[in-house]
Amino acid sequence: MPANKKLLVLPGDGIGPEVMGEVRRVMDWMAVRRAISFDLTEGLVGGAAIDSTGSPCPDATVAAARRADAVLFGSVGGPKWDKLPFDQRPELGILRLRKDLGLFANLRPAIVLEPLAEAPALRAELVRGLDIMIVRESTGGIYFGEPRGISPNAQGRRVGVDTEVYSEDEIARVARVAFDLARKRRNKVTSVDKANVMQSGRLWRTVVGEVHAADYADVELENMYADNCAMQLASRPRQFDVILGSNLFGDLLSDLAAALTGSLGMLPSATLGGLQPGGKRHALYEPIHGSAPDIAGRGIANPCAQILSFAMLLRHSFGMEEDAKLIETAIERVLASGLRTADIMQPGRARVGTAVMGEAVLRELEKLAA
Q: Which residues of this chain interact with ligand NAD, rule CB under 6 A?
A: 15, 19, 75-78, 91, 94, 264-265, 286, 289-295, 301-302, 305, 341, 343
Query: Is 174 or 308 the residue whose CB approaches ligand NAD more closely?
Result: 308
143 catalytic residue (yes or no): yes
Q: How far is the CB of 211 from ligand NAD (least distance, A)?
A: 30
Catalytic residue among 13, 251, 323, 343: 251
User: How far is the C-alpha of 295 from the C-alpha of 274, rounded, in Å?
Assistant: 36
Q: How far is the CB of 299 from ligand NAD (least distance, A)?
A: 11
39 catalytic residue (yes or no): no
Query: Is 76 or 207 the residue whose CB approaches ligand NAD more closely?
Result: 76
User: How far is the C-alpha of 139 from the C-alpha of 246, rounded, in Å?
Assistant: 10
Q: What type of residue is 215?
A: D
Q: Check residue 92 and give left, alpha or beta (phi > 0: left; psi -120 to 50: alpha).
A: alpha
> Burial, 230: exposed, middle or buried (Cβ in 10 Å; 0-12, 13-18, 19+)?
middle
Q: How far is the CB of 123 from ligand NAD (least distance, A)?
A: 22
Q: How far is the CB of 91 from ligand NAD (least distance, A)?
A: 5
Which spans in 43-165 are helix H?
46-53, 59-67, 92-100, 124-127
Q: How far is the CB of 21 from ligand NAD (least distance, A)?
A: 13
CA 40 to mean position of chain CA atoms? 21
Catalytic residue among 5, 194, 241, 343: 194
Catalytic residue among 82, 255, 280, 367: 255
166 catalytic residue (yes or no): no
What are the C-alpha distances in Å from 231 to residues 131, 144, 201, 262? 17, 27, 19, 18
- The answer to whether residues 273 and 101 touch, using CB atoms and an 8 Å cutoff, is yes
Query: Is 91 or 100 the residue whose CB approaches ligand NAD more closely?
Result: 91
User: How far is the C-alpha of 124 from the C-alpha of 141, rounded, in Å?
Assistant: 35
Query: Is 219 or 308 the residue whose CB approaches ligand NAD more closely?
Result: 308
Q: How far is the CB of 308 from ligand NAD (least distance, A)?
A: 11
Catalytic residue among 51, 184, 227, 280: 227
Residue 365: in which H helix or E strand, if any? Answer: helix 354-369
The packing angle between helices 92-100 and 46-53, to 10°, is: 100
Query: Is 31 or 256 the residue whose CB approaches ligand NAD more closely?
Result: 256
User: How far is the C-alpha of 36 from the C-alpha of 28, rounded, in Å?
Assistant: 9
Query: Is 304 or 365 the residue whose CB approaches ligand NAD more closely?
Result: 304
285 catalytic residue (yes or no): no
What are the C-alpha distances in Å from 270 to residues 107, 128, 150, 273, 308? 5, 23, 33, 10, 10
Q: Which residues are part of the catalytic machinery? A: 143, 194, 227, 251, 255
